[in-house]
Chains A and B, each alone.
Chain A
Amino acid sequence: NAGVTQTPKFQVLKTGQSMTLQCAQDMNHNSMYWYRQDPGMGLRLIYYSASEGTTDKGEVPNGYNVSRLNKREFSLRLESAAPSQTSVYFCASSPPGNYEQYFGPGTRLTVT
């Protein structure tokens, strides 16, 4: 099992550009999550998906959109990147009835 995978590992964007961060899990988990990690602020939830076909906003959703394409995949889209979105982005998944979350390796995004 690869667990939770994320692509790309690194990305540099110019202000106003768009991109999609990909996340996939092979553990048959129902719930998936997108976080951003900023120094001193821990991980903040951007969006989550409790099951295929559903998505909900987290703490910091502005400037992002998500798609739960199927049970395995949960993508995060930045339509018009801003320097404030420079961060490390983590995807996670969780099985039903188990509060533990399993994390991907992260995507380091820089917006100039």
Chain B
Amino acid sequence: AQRVTQPEKLLSVFKGAPVELKCNYSYSGSPELFWYVQYSRQRLQLLLRHISRESIKGFTADLNKGETSFHLKKPFAQEEDSAMYYCAPSNNAGNMLTFGGGTRLMVKP
């Protein structure tokens, strides 16, 4: 069965500190991997996808196939980064996502 684990329910850091949100997955095949974000009072939206290999709002995510991890990182957290973050691999057909339990990031001033 496909499983996605985000081990930290809550991550609290100070502004300017580095942040890493962990994601481990158990999947057959080669899934496409995504990070979604939900800011307060806003709808869930795509933050970044592995295949595009881009940095969005200073966040990057590296796929480690050996460890089956897709951790989200940012070198200097900002207060506006406070939100819920969800890791989501797709199935091989690309028509379904499995969401992790989410990590709430709080960036303190």
Taking Cβ atoms with an 8 Å cutoff, the residues of A that contact B are 4, 31, 35, 40-45, 48, 50, 58, 90, 92, 94, 97-101, 103-106
Contact = CB atoms under 8 A, between A and B. Distances in A.
Interface residues of B, number: 21
A50 B95 contact: yes
Interface in B17-51: 32, 34, 43-46, 49
A10 to B, nearest CB: 14
A40 B9 contact: yes
Chain B binding surface, main DSSP class = loop
Given A100-B34, A100-B49, A40 B101 contact: yes
A31 B98 CA distance: 15
Given A40-B9, A42-B86, A42-B102, A99 B43 contact: no
A99 B34 contact: yes
B63 interface: no
A111 to B, nearest CB: 22
Contact of B43 (A31, A98, A105): A105
Interface of B: 4, 6, 9, 32, 34, 43-46, 49, 86, 90, 94-102
A13 to B, nearest CB: 23
Contact of A99 (B49, B86, B99, B100): B49
Contacts of A97: 94
Contacts of A90: 43-44
17 contacts: A40-B9, A41-B101, A42-B6, A42-B99, A42-B101, A42-B102, A43-B99, A44-B99, A48-B96, A94-B95, A99-B34, A99-B49, A99-B94, A99-B97, A100-B49, A101-B97, A103-B43
Given A103-B43, A106-B43, A42 B100 contact: yes
A106 B38 CA distance: 12
Contacts of A104: 43
